[in-house]
């Protein structure tokens, strides 16, 4: 979204949002994705200026990270079940420059496709050694790295015989909680893309493919883990599609 101004009823110039004008990001209202009908805003979006609360709020620095936050396979006493994977990439701005010090968070279901969440009760097993949540900061070159397990597909009742493709949720924070972008990473060759309204809500088919990670054999470790690369571009022509809202379990 791009900031601009318009005159309010008193004649003052007021900050507002307007779409970037491309076909990269999904619309707020995508009727085939059922829950957007209930949650899409019915009024124009308004820019909320940063006030003292945002400026003096919690800092998102390295001192808030735990030593195993980036490795979802070592956060419990034993290892989780499933195919171990390494997910890495770079966060870049619209000019291709790396973005260092960005807080990157991930969350995902386990290898059976089940979230550790109170309302996720479909009959797939929970894994006592997998919570499915991680976070890290990008380094000086804007790079991040997670170790986790391959997530499973799961049913979600959006339409008849609806299954979500395997995916990992990504959240990127700037320097305040109001500076947040949310997206999803998919895996190459997934047979469920054709019926997933979240993936297909992105108008441009080429932009959809920017949500699909790339298998990276150079990062795969022999007899230990497969590697996947997923870069995140914040703005511009090659921007990663981001969600305008946040739905933790979809």
Active site residues: 115, 154, 164, 167, 169
CB 228 within 8 Å of CB 86: yes
Q: Which residues contact 75 (CB under 8 A, 6 or more apart)?
A: 68, 69, 131, 134
Rg over alpha carbons for the chain, rounded to the nearest Å, is 19
For 63, list phi and psi in degrees, rounded to 5: -70, -10
Q: Which of 81, 111, 105, 78 is nearest to 91 (CA)?
A: 105
* Dihedral sign of CA atoms 232, 36, 29, 205 in order: positive
Residue 242 is classified by DSSP as -
Q: Which of 246, 240, 115 is nearest to 186 (CA)?
A: 240
What token pair was written down for 162?
A: 């609806």
As a whole number of angstroms, the distance between CA 250 and CA 244 comes to: 14
SS3 207: helix
């Amino acid at each position: 979204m791009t900031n601009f101004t318009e005159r309010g009823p008193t004649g003052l110039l007021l900050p507002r949002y307007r779409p970037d004008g491309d076909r990269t990001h999904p619309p707020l209202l995508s009727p085939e994705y059922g829950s957007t009908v209930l949650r899409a805003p019915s009024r124009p979006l308004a820019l909320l200026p940063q006030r003292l609360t945002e400026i003096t709020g919690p800092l998102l620095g390295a001192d808030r990270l735990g030593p195993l936050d980036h490795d979802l396979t070592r956060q419990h006493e034993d290892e989780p079940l499933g195919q171990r994977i390494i997910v890495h990439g770079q966060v870049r701005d619209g000019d291709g420059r790396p973005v260092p010090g960005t807080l990157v968070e991930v969350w995902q279901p386990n290898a059976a496709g089940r979230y550790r969440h109170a309302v996720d009760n479909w009959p797939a097993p929970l894994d006592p050694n997998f919570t499915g949540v991680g976070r890290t900061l990008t380094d000086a070159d804007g790079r991040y790295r997670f170790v986790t397990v391959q997530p499973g597909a799961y049913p979600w009742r959006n339409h008849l015989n609806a299954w979500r493709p395997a995916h990992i949720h990504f959240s990127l924070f700037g320097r305040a909680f109001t500076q947040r972008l949310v997206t999803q990473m998919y895996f190459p060759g997934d047979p469920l893309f054709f019926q997933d309204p979240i993936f297909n809500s992105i108008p441009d088919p080429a932009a959809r493919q920017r949500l699909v990670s790339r298998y990276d054999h150079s990062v795969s470790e022999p007899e230990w883990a497969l590697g996947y690369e997923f870069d995140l571009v914040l703005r511009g022509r090659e921007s990663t599609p981001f969600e305008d809202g946040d739905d933790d379990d979809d």
